Every structure is written in structure tokens, then in C-alpha cells.
């Protein structure tokens, strides 16, 4: 465990203990580092930043990606992370100059996601030079620089590769096994929602026709939201005109062979929004730890809008609390005849299964602000009082547009990023971030009788040796905060249970079947237990191959560089080392596979290089490198 992760856990335990023992002021939305929510600039004081996308790594590090208006000429993609003190670049140049996009045309529609191994991925749509078209691009950070995810993923046709068509509004999601999925809106003669995944080598369709013709929407689709279901397969929510003129919210899932409805009628007729007169736009899809799916959207009726939410109960899409998808919804604003009202909801679920939603809200008196609520199992409550009225979470800041919500996996606290513009005396735009400084208690409904906590996670997924494993236990009833523990048996070697979050995580080191009894205790001492069996399969053998097949010759006194690259395995986290022989004097191999230096002696040497990926898979190759006199390479 890193010092950063250890300190985060200690801090969380201190905060929870303090809250239990002492009366505390109401929770509030605070800056994440000095100036992170203050004009001018926010997280990037000189970036002219807009349209942020926020994600938090497994170690609790927040990342934000956004479009930066560079030199008043074009948008580039910038990425920053919070290092505990300030918002810094993620690799040299990630938030300066051309950023990670570095293209003379506009780069927009930025989305970020973090893989289970902590690797950040960023996708965007890139406008093409000299053509009325855009393509979907993606890069990842390999620990030192931003690289393509497969050859050509951020050049020319990108991963969409639809010349003379607009590919835009990407949505990015990563499965627990590390598979990266992207969905986007394809605007052509057959507009629709397209989906691809990275198989370790190239970007392929997810089922026949998922990125051609009408795509997974089988016709018009817009503003998609992509998430990974409890079975590890992708699900999309999107706008569709359905059987009428006004847009509806449709949902489809991939069942392993085809894209099908998620409940009868979820992608036909009035869809899950179930409105015959209103316009339903900008869905946000998320899955809870217990596998329940939630979709929030903006519903427009009679000139005003509200935020609506439904959840999938395994059979049909029902309200998440009384009135969550009728009347004034969860936003609960008085009907107003204004062209702009609540819009662009962002939805996330914490480790306890509590659903949080943030959205932008416009009135003539407040301008654009950011509002937020959470579902406590009975009602959609403010977090804290005032988070869904007035200035909301932005605490007096005059504007707030396009919120992006994330949950810190260690503290369970919600973070929100947004962008805003300030006009007189000068035109300034920036990306801002706040977080909740403590988790408000979740009250039971006033008429409810307190019940003991119950573990609602009925079974735990199987694992595999050397592969990342993470699963959150879910609890109903009781009084938070909860404490989790092992009371009988043991988890598989390499896995541990976090006592406060209830998250089982780690990398299994031993195959077998393991039976363990886990217990949850609430803050007043009531408890329940559940017995689980986890089957850990032996590590998959996924051999790596190394390239190139041969290294170019070098010359004494002439700087030399060659790059060894691995393919196969898990497709990420490659490191390199020499296991036999030695490089010519003056040369060295770093962990990223780069051979460099200046040769100092003539001759040929033979050596073997091994590559290791994040899943423990290996591959090796033997090379012979010849060093010639300085003039022997002349003319080459």
C-alpha cells in the first residue's frame, strides 16, 4: 500500500470517528486545493478551460480533463490531477501548449475514465482539417507520456474512422477486467449510437453492426451515456425520437451477442421516460453495487424542465422514490415559463449504494448554478440543506455549467467539476472543482421503525490469480456509518476487506474455493452476517510478444535509441528488463522499453529482454546488437 493510500485511509477513519463522537457543523462543499473553485481560473488559472470530465483513481487521486481554448484559436485537450496540494499536469505538457491532443483543429467533447489499474484514458472528438467532419480519438497515460490506445487511435480516422461524417459526444467506460468501451453519436445518412471496444490490439465492434449503419440504436440516437453492468458488459442510455416527434430516453444492453432491450419497451415507443408529450434529453446512466441501474435525464414539459430518475428493478423501469419521474421530479422546482431550466444531469453511486445527482440550473435570478441531491432510500434530499436551491454547491460563484460528478472510492465523498464564465471586467472561463467535506447522516423516513443492517449482496463474483479484484458489499437499513469484518473463514490470499467502505479488493495470489462469513455492524451495534464463496481460477496464460524482431546497428560515439514494445497479455502496464547477457557498453534499458545512450566500444553483444504486464504475463526475446566504427553508418 502506498503512503498516499495509507494516509487517506487513516484520515477517513479519523473523520468518521470524530463525527460519531462529537456534534459537527453541517456538511459543506469545499475547494479541492486553494482556488479550485474561485475566479479567475479554477484548477487551471490560465487555461481558458471548459466542458470538464472528472474521474477519481482507485488510490483516491482526482483527475479532470477538459477543453482549453489555446491562443484564442482552437480547443485542445488538457488533463490535470490533484496531488494533495495543487492541480498539476499528468505528464509534461498535458495542460500546456497543445495538451494531449496537439492538433491544429478543434478538440472537443472530452471524457476521462480510470482503469482498475489506475491508468487514465481520455477520449474526445477531433475535427478534421479541410472537411466537415470529426472523428473519435483516445489516448492513455503510460506513466510518462500520453500514447495511443492501439495504432491510429488518435490520428487520421481515429477509432470511429467515418470520413465525411460527424462522430461526436463520446461516452467512455472501463469494465472491471480492464476492457475499454466507447460509445458515441454518429451523424451521417444513418445517424445512430455506435460502440467499440479495445481488444488489446485494435478497436472492434461490440456485436455485429455496433459501429456501422444504424449502430446499437438501430436508428436515430443522440447524447449517449455508457456504463458497465453487473455482468461486466456494456449498457447504453440515449435520446431517441422513438415513435413520435419529441425525444425519449431509450436503454439497450449487450447480452454477449446482440444489443437488446433492458426490460420490455426500454428501446421502443415511449422508452423508459414514458412521456407522450414532453421532451426527454441528456440521460446519465449508472449502476449501483447491487447491480441496480439508474438513469437520470432532463424532462421538458410546457416550457419548463425538471430532473427525472428511474431505476431498473430487474423487470421494468420504476420510479426511484415516489414522484421521481412525474410532476416536479427530484429537482422539485416550481413550474416556470423559462427556456432554460435544469439540464445535463451527472449521476454516480457510492460504495454504499447511495445515488448522487448533480445538474446545472438556470433562472433569471440565479443565472447558471450547480444543484445536487442524493437518494436516501426514501426521498431525494439536499446535501446539505441548500445544495438544490439558490447558488447550490458553488457557494456564491456566479455561474456553473455542465457538472461532472465523481465519488472518491476511499472517502466515499462526492466531488463535482463544472465550468463557468465571468464577463465584466474581463472575459474569463475556467473549470472548477468542489467536494463535500463530510458525509451527512442518512436519516430514516420519520415514520419508519429502525431496522438492523442487512447485507444485501447475495453473492460475490469469482476471481483469477494475478487479476485485479474489487467488489463492494451493499447494506440496507441500520444506521450509518457501518463497520465490516470477517467473522469466520478467510478471504482468498491477496484480498482484503476495508472495514469502513465494505470494499473487497486486491490481487488474488492463490487459486481455489474460499468460504468466508462477513459481518456488518451499524453505529448503534446492530449486526447481521452473510456467508459467501469466492472461486479463484488459476492465472490465465497470456504470453507477450516483443517487437521489433531485430535492432538497428549503432556506432561508437553516436547517440543511439531503440524502443522495445510488447503486445498481448492484458494490454497494459508493461515493464521491461534484461534477464541474460548485457547491452553494449554505454547503453541502458529503462523500464518503459527504451534502449538509449552512446556506445563507447566496438563489437556485437547478445542479450535477452523480458516484458511483464499488469496481469503477471510475460514474454521474452533475444537480440544481437552490433556497434560499428563511427564512419561505418555513413550514408545510412
Task: Look at residue 566 and tell me if it is in a domain.
Answer: yes
Task: Look at residue 95 and tell me if it is in a domain.
Answer: no
**CA–CA distance, 81 with 145 (Å, rounded to integer):** 14
**In terms of residue numbers, what domain contains 605?**
544-633
Task: Look at residue 154 and tell me if it is in a domain.
Answer: no
**CA–CA distance, 544 with 571 (Å, rounded to integer):** 9
- Taking CA atoms, 420 is separated from 52, 98, 370, 529, 588, in Å, by 10, 22, 10, 48, 48
Q: Please tell me what DSSP assigns to residue 508.
A: -
Q: Please tell me what DSSP assigns to residue 429.
A: E
Check: CB of residue 351 under 8 Å from CB of residue 401: no
Task: Look at residue 364 and tell me if it is in a domain.
Answer: no
Check: CB of residue 276 under 8 Å from CB of residue 270: yes
Domain-terminating residue out of 537, 555, 590: 537
Cell numbers 421516460 label which residue?
273
pLDDT per position as a tens digit, 575-620: 999 999 999 999 999 999 999 999 999 999 999 999 988 777 889 9
Burial class (CB in 10 A: 0-12, 13-18, 19+), 142: middle
- Return the C-alpha cell found at 538: 488459476
CATH of the domain at 605: 2.60.40.10
Per-residue model confidence (pLDDT) at position 602: 92
Q: Are residues 513 and 579 in the same domain?
A: no
Per-residue model confidence (pLDDT) at position 367: 73
Burial class (CB in 10 A: 0-12, 13-18, 19+), 565: middle
Per-residue model confidence (pLDDT) at position 15: 47
Q: Please tell me what DSSP assigns to residue 273.
A: T
**Confidence bin at 447 (pLDDT 50/70/90):** very low
Per-residue model confidence (pLDDT) at position 303: 67
φ/ψ (deg, to 5) at 280? -110, 120
pLDDT per position as a tens digit, 231-247: 899 999 999 874 445 78
pLDDT per position as a tens digit, 509-568: 999 999 999 999 987 788 889 999 999 998 777 788 999 999 999 999 999 999 999 998
Check: CB of residue 300 under 8 Å from CB of residue 254: no
Check: CB of residue 124 under 8 Å from CB of residue 115: no
Task: Look at residue 557 and tell me if it is in a domain.
Answer: yes
CA 125 from centroid of its chain's CA atoms: 17
Q: Are residues 525 and 569 in the same domain?
A: no
Task: Look at residue 590 and tell me if it is in a domain.
Answer: yes
Domain-terminating residue out of 503, 537, 571: 537
- Return the C-alpha cell found at 516: 468466508
Task: Look at residue 148 and tell me if it is in a domain.
Answer: no
Q: Please tell me what DSSP assigns to residue 10.
A: H
Check: CB of residue 372 under 8 Å from CB of residue 387: yes
Per-residue model confidence (pLDDT) at position 54: 98
**pLDDT above 60 (res 339):** no
| Residues of the chain above pLDDT 70, percent | 87
**pLDDT above 50 (res 632):** yes
Rounded mean pLDDT, 391-401: 73
Q: Are residues 572 and 528 in the same domain?
A: no
Check: CB of residue 94 under 8 Å from CB of residue 80: yes
**CA–CA distance, 78 with 43 (Å, rounded to integer):** 11
**CA–CA distance, 16 with 25 (Å, rounded to integer):** 14
- Return the C-alpha cell found at 261: 432491450
- Return the C-alpha cell found at 629: 566504427
Check: CB of residue 473 under 8 Å from CB of residue 485: no
Q: Strand 618-628 relative to strand 554-555: parallel, antiparallel, unpaired? A: parallel
Check: CB of residue 502 under 8 Å from CB of residue 475: yes
Q: Three-state SS for 55? A: strand
Cell numbers 451495534 label which residue?
525
Domain-terminating residue out of 475, 508, 537: 537
Query: How many CA within 13 A on the CB side of residue 318?
Result: 8
Check: CB of residue 160 under 8 Å from CB of residue 166: no
Range with the largest mean pLDDT of 1-5, 54-58, 129-133, 373-377: 54-58
Element (H, E) at 470: strand 469-472
Mean pLDDT estimate for the chain: 86
φ/ψ (deg, to 5) at 33? 95, 145
Q: Are residues 520 and 550 in the same domain?
A: no
Check: CB of residue 197 under 8 Å from CB of residue 216: no
Q: Are residues 626 and 565 in the same domain?
A: yes
CA 155 from centroid of its chain's CA atoms: 23
Rounded mean pLDDT, 22-47: 79
pTM tops 0.75: no
Per-residue model confidence (pLDDT) at position 10: 45
Query: How many CA within 13 A on the CB side of residue 577?
Result: 5
pLDDT per position as a tens digit, 267-323: 988 899 987 677 899 999 999 988 899 999 999 876 678 999 999 988 899 999 999
Q: Select the more confidently predicted residue: 245 or 489.
A: 489
Q: Select the more confidently predicted residue: 501 or 374.
A: 374
Per-residue model confidence (pLDDT) at position 363: 67
- Describe the strand order of the beta sheet including 495-497 as a list of residue ranges: 469-472, 503-506, 495-497
Cell numbers 464577463 label which residue?
423
- Split into its structural domains, the chain has a count of 2
CA-closest candidate to residue 274, choices 309, 303, 304, 314:
309
Per-residue model confidence (pLDDT) at position 446: 42
Q: Are residues 531 and 549 in the same domain?
A: no
**CA–CA distance, 161 with 155 (Å, rounded to integer):** 10
Rounded mean pLDDT, 409-425: 82
Q: Are residues 517 and 564 in the same domain?
A: no
Q: Strand 527-537 relative to strand 512-521: parallel, antiparallel, unpaired? A: antiparallel
CA 353 from centroid of its chain's CA atoms: 17
Q: Are residues 532 and 577 in the same domain?
A: no
Mark out the alpha helices in 199-238 (DSSP H runs): none
Residue ranges with strand state E in 2-161: 29-31, 49-56, 62-70, 74-82, 87-89, 107-114, 120-127, 134-141, 146-148
Amino acid at each position: 500500500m502506498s503512503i498516499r493510500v495509507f494516509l487517506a485511509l487513516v484520515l477517513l477513519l479519523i473523520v468518521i470517528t470524530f463525527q460519531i463522537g462529537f456534534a459537527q457543523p453541517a456538511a459543506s462543499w469545499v475547494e479541492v486545493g486553494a482556488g479550485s473553485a474561485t475566479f479567475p481560473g479554477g484548477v487551471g488559472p490560465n487555461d481558458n478551460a471548459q466542458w470538464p470530465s472528472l474521474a477519481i483513481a482507485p488510490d483516491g487521486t482526482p483527475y479532470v480533463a477538459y477543453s482549453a481554448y489555446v491562443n484564442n484559436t482552437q480547443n485542445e485537450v488538457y488533463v490535470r490531477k490533484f496531488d494533495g496540494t495543487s492541480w498539476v499536469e499528468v505528464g509534461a505538457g498535458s495542460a500546456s501548449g497543445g495538451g494531449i491532443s496537439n492538433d491544429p483543429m478543434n478538440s472537443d467533447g472530452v471524457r476521462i475514465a480510470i482503469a482498475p489499474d489506475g491508468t487514465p484514458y481520455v477520449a474526445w472528438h477531433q475535427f478534421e482539417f479541410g472537411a466537415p467532419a470529426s472523428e473519435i480519438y483516445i489516448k492513455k497515460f503510460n506513466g510518462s507520456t500520453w500514447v495511443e490506445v492501439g495504432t491510429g487511435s488518435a490520428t487520421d480516422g481515429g477509432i470511429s474512422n467515418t470520413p465525411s461524417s460527424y462522430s461526436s459526444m463520446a461516452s467512455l467506460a472501463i469494465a472491471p477486467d480492464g476492457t475499454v468501451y466507447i460509445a458515441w453519436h454518429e451523424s451521417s445518412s444513418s445517424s445512430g449510437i455506435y460502440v467499440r471496444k479495445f481488444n488489446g490490439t485494435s478497436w472492434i465492434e461490440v456485436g455485429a453492426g455496433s459501429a456501422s449503419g444504424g449502430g446499437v440504436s438501430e436508428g436515430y440516437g443522440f447524447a449517449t451515456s455508457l456504463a458497465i453492468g453487473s455482468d461486466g458488459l456494456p449498457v447504453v442510455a440515449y435520446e431517441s425520437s422513438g415513435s413520435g416527434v419529441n425525444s425519449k430516453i431509450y436503454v439497450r444492453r449487450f447480452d454477449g451477442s446482440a444489443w437488446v432491450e433492458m426490460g420490455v419497451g426500454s428501446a421502443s415507443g415511449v422508452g423508459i421516460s414514458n412521456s407522450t408529450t414532453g421532451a426527454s434529453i441528456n440521460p446519465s446512466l449508472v449502476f449501483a453495487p447491487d447491480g441496480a441501474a439508474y438513469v437520470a435525464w432532463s424532462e421538458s414539459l410546457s416550457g419548463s424542465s425538471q430532473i427525472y430518475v428511474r431505476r431498473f428493478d430487474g423487470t421494468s423501469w420504476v420510479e426511484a422514490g415516489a414522484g421521481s419521474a412525474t410532476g416536479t421530479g427530484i429537482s422539485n422546482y416550481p413550474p416556470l415559463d423559462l427556456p432554460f431550466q435544469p439540464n445535463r444531469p451527472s449521476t454516480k453511486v457510492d460504495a454504499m449504494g447511495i445515488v448522487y445527482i448533480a445538474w446545472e440550473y438556470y433562472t433569471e435570478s440565479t443565472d447558471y448554478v450547480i444543484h445536487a441531491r442524493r437518494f436516501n432510500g426514501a426521498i431525494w434530499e439536499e446535501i446539505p440543506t441548500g445544495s438544490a436551491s439558490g447558488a447550490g454547491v458553488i457557494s456564491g460563484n456566479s455561474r456553473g455549467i455542465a457538472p461532472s460528478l465523481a465519488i472518491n472510492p476511499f472517502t466515499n465523498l462526492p466531488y463535482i467539476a463544472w465550468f463557468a464564465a465571468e464577463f465584466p471586467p474581463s472575459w474569463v472561463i475556467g473549470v472548477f472543482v468542489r467536494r463535500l467535506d463530510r458525509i451527512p447522516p442518512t436519516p430514516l423516513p420519520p415514520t419508519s421503525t429502525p431496522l438492523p443492517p442487512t447485507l444485501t449482496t447475495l453473492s460475490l463474483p469469482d476471481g483469477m490469480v494475478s487479476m485485479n479484484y474489487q467488489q463492494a458489499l451493499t447494506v440496507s437499513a441500520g444506521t450509518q456509518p457501518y463497520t465490516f469484518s470477517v467473522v469466520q473463514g478467510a478471504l482468498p490470499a491477496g484480498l482484503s476487506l476495508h472495514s469502513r467502505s465494505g470494499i473487497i479488493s486486491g490481487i488474488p495470489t492463490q487459486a481455489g474455493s474460499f468460504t468466508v462469513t462477513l459481518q456488518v455492524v451499524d453505529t448503534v451495534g446492530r449486526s447481521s452476517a452473510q456467508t459467501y464463496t469466492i472461486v479463484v481460477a488459476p492465472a490465465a496464460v497470456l504470453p507477450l510478444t516483443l517487437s521489433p524482431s531485430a535492432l538497428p546497428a549503432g556506432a561508437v560515439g553516436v547517440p543511439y535509441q531503440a524502443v522495445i514494445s510488447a503486445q498481448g497479455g492484458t494490454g497494459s502496464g508493461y515493464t521491461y528488463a534484461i534477464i541474460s547477457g548485457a547491452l553494449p557498453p554505454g547503453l541502458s534499458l529503462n523500464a518503459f522499453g527504451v534502449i538509449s545512450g552512446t556506445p563507447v566500444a566496438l563489437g556485437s553483444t547478445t542479450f535477452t529482454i523480458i516484458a511483464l504486464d499488469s496481469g503477471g504475463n510475460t514474454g521474452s526475446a533475444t537480440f544481437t546488437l552490433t556497434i560499428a566504427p563511427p564512419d561505418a553508418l555513413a550514408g545510412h
